[in-house]
Structure formats: structure tokens, C-alpha cells
Amino acid sequence: MSRFLSRRFASLAPYTPGEQPQGMEYVKLNTNESPYPPAPGVIAALSAAEVSRLNLYSDPQTKALTNAIAKRYGLFPAQVLPGNGSDEILVFCFEAFCGEDAGACFADLTYGFYEVYARLFCLETKVIALSERFTIEPEAYFNAGKTVFIANPNAPTGVFLALGELEEILKHNRENVVVIDEAYVDFGGESAVSLLARYENLLVVQTFSKSRNLAGARLGFAMGSEQLIGDLMKMKFSFNPYNINRLSILAGAAAMEDGAYFEACTKKIMQTREAVAVSLEERGFFVLPSRANFVFAAPKRIGGEAYYKKLKEKGVLVRWFDRDRIRDFVRITIGSDAQMKTLLNATDQILEETK
């Protein structure tokens, strides 16, 4: 830390991303990437001719991408704002809607960035504990008096809140924005985008990193009323008007247009997930019901930390959180069938070694 840094950041704890070993040969099941490559249209779209045009700025309006998203979800383009990953979209939401006395409200166990952003912007927070079964209790969010952030399905649990219950939260927060972060919704959840027409306080955030196989392109997007999206656009044009590069705009549009490939990949991952959940339960794990591209599972005897470390020794990376209530668990990304077989084999060895 330099002596010039603002004092309020002295104790700021940034977000810790999952390990991203570069070059080492791990089976990476720790950051919820898709095991499958981007849609074939993406590879076609990012031609040498397009690369040779990188001397020109990208479209600050990101029209090709915005239009593809709007078409897919039956919205007007003015209801959609893409960002440099959904994290950037979340920054814009915190900046635009949580200022002055609004503050932020979120669960005690959820996407770690909500807490980081709340600290970054020095916000008052209302942190609501998940139930003992790791579910969101809608009533606890009624009249929150703050901007509400709900990851649905939740991370790192994978637990999904039914749309009817979410709607109750929207109804009882007419004076606040409610941001539904649907990073994992395409793996068996149901999007709140169908509620947009009825709730002017609803913002839906999605990403291309999981179900669209484009984590490395850094693309997320917000969907909401023209007014809310206009507010976020004001943030974008005040932060970084050229926030998305030329190639990611093309990649995102091509990925969004290939519905069949999207269906095939997400369906396959859900099938693999169900098989893995059964396999882990057969081995004595407690597995939360997941609608995401990961499972949150507790190896009953070994403990989460030891299991994570032993898997790493055997070349399999999963995510363990050193945090109250969830130290017994690890979060395991659903990879290819071959990757999951490696995980299960390593697990069998660990169970044998620790008998």
C-alpha cells in the first residue's frame, strides 16, 4: 500500500477469484467454466479479417450484441445493456442505485462480490441469513428499504428460488430496485425476465461465462425497463464507453444466435450434474439440490478443507470457502463426463486413504 491510497481503502479486502493456474495440468473444476468450446459460429465470426480491424474502436453502443440479446429474450434493445462481464454490470448497479442512504441487501451466503462492492462504495448493508437448508426465505426480504441483490440460483449453493416466491419479494419492494443475478439460471432454473413487464423495480443480470461457453470473452448483461437500463447506461458512459472490445461483441452475438448449441451444452451439463450428485451421495456425501453448473457437496467424514487439499494434490481443483456455515462443503464445477470420472476416481482414492 502506498501512502497516497485513500484511507477508506486501507482495510478493503478485494474479491478472491478461484485459482487460475496458467499452464499447469489440473482438472479445473473450481471456477464454473463450461467444459465445452464456444458455439461454432463464434469461431467463424472471429476471423483473421476481423482481427486485422482491431486498430478501430469497438461500437460503444454494442449494437450487434445488444440486438442479439434483445431478440433472444423478446425485449427492446433499449431494455438491454451488455457489460465487460456481469461483474461490471453489478458495479454499475451498486453505483447507480445504492448511493446516498439506499444501501444494499443480500444473503449471508451468496456471491462474494456483493459484499466487496458494498465495502468499496462504503454502503450500509442488510445481510440476511439463509435458512438452515440454505434457502432464501422471501419474507425476510420484504420492505428491505435497500437495493436487493439475489443470486438465483444462489452461489455457491446452487439452490434455486421459485419464481412465485421471487415475485413476492418484488411486490414487497416497490420502492427499491431488486437485482436478480441469474449467472446460473440456464441449468434448470427459470428466468425472472418474464416478470419484467410487471415490475419496474426488477433488473435481471446474466452472463456469457457459464451457459454461453464464453468466460474468456468477458461478457455479461442487464435486462430491465428502459428507464433502469438508461440509468445503467449513464454509468457506463461515465466509466468506460468502449467497455467491450470488438471481438467479444462479435463472439457474444454469434453465441446468442446459436440456440441449438446452447440447448445441447446446458442439457448435457445438467445430465452430468445429476449423475455426479448421485455418485457423490453413494459415496456418503451430502449434496445440496443444484440448478447450476456446479454442485455444493459435503464429504461427511473428511471435512471440506482436507478434501479440497487432497483433491488438489491429485490434480483436481475445486473451490473451498473458509467461511462460517460452509466449511464442510466444496463447490465442484460440472465439467465433461471424463473430468467428472477423474474427480470420482480421485475421491475414491481419498476415501480409501483416509479410512
The DSSP element (H or E) to which 151 belongs, if any, is: strand 147-151
Question: Smallest distance, Å, CB 2 to a copy of itself?
Answer: 4
Choose which of 76, 108, 241, 354 interacts with a copy of itself (CB under 8 A): 241
Taking phi over 0 as left and psi of -120 to 50 as alpha, with beta for the rest, 315 belongs to: left
Q: Which cell goes with 287?
A: 449434496
Of residues 199 through 238, those in contact with a copy of itself by CB under 8 A are 200-201, 209, 213-218, 225, 227-228, 230-231, 234-238
Query: For residues 295 and 276, is the Cβ–Cβ distance under 8 A?
Result: yes
The DSSP element (H or E) to which 266 belongs, if any, is: helix 259-282
- Whichever of 119 and 314 has its CB closer to a copy of itself, that residue is 119
Q: Which residue has the cell 438452515?
A: 132
Q: Which cell goes with 196?
A: 419484467
Query: Mask of contacts with a copy of itself, 148-187, x by CB under 8 A?
Result: ----------------------------xx----------
Length of the chain: 355
Rg over alpha carbons for the chain, rounded to the nearest Å, is 20
Choose which of 8, 267, 301, 325 interacts with a copy of itself (CB under 8 A): 8
- Is the peptide bond preceding residue 21 cis, with omega within 30 degrees of 0? no
315 touches a copy of itself (CB under 8 A): no
- Whichever of 177 and 343 has its CB closer to a copy of itself, that residue is 177
Of residues 29 through 88, those in contact with a copy of itself by CB under 8 A are 31, 33-38, 42-43, 46, 48, 51-61, 63, 84-85, 87-88
Choose which of 157, 248, 293, 333 interacts with a copy of itself (CB under 8 A): 248
Query: For residues 142 and 173, is the Cβ–Cβ distance under 8 A?
Result: yes
Query: Mask of contacts with a copy of itself, 110-139, x by CB under 8 A?
Result: ------xx-xx-------------------
Of residues 280 through 299, those in contact with a copy of itself by CB under 8 A are none
Choose which of 27, 65, 81, 102 interacts with a copy of itself (CB under 8 A): 102
Got the DSSP string for 281-313? HHTTEEE----SSEEEEEETTT-HHHHHHHHHH
Q: Which cell goes with 285?
A: 456425501
Residue 180 CA: distances (Å) to CA of 144, 152, 166: 15, 7, 9
Question: Smallest distance, Å, CB 46 to a copy of itself?
Answer: 5
Query: Mask of contacts with a copy of itself, 317-336, x by CB under 8 A?
Result: --------------------
Question: Smallest distance, Å, CB 42 to a copy of itself?
Answer: 7
